[in-house]
Amino acid sequence: MADERPKKVSVGFIGSQVLSGRLAPSELITLRAALGDEGWRDVRFEEGIVALDLSKVVYVLAEDDEHRVGFGA
């Protein structure tokens, strides 16, 4: 069964601006698939809907699910 917990995602833009928020895994897949496109796309973050200019996106960073605590973890 796939994990459907939202992931923390940072979207970097030309000019060093970064937008961070939490995305459902299905929304992250849709965003990644659209990265080669031009123009604007609505993306549904947990915090609300954001319109992104895909031609200005330089990276998408999604948190790793593996969290470690303590020494030597």
Tallying the residues shown for the chain, one arrives at: 73
CA 40 to chain centre: 15
Domains annotated on the chain, with CATH: 7-62 (2.30.30)
Phi, psi of 18, deg, nearest 5: -135, 135
Rounded to two decimals, the pTM is 0.81
pLDDT one digit per residue (tens) for the chain, 73 residues: 467 889 999 999 999 999 999 999 999 999 999 998 889 999 999 999 999 999 999 999 999 866 667 676 5
Specify whether the CB–CB gap between 54 and 31 falls below 8 A: no
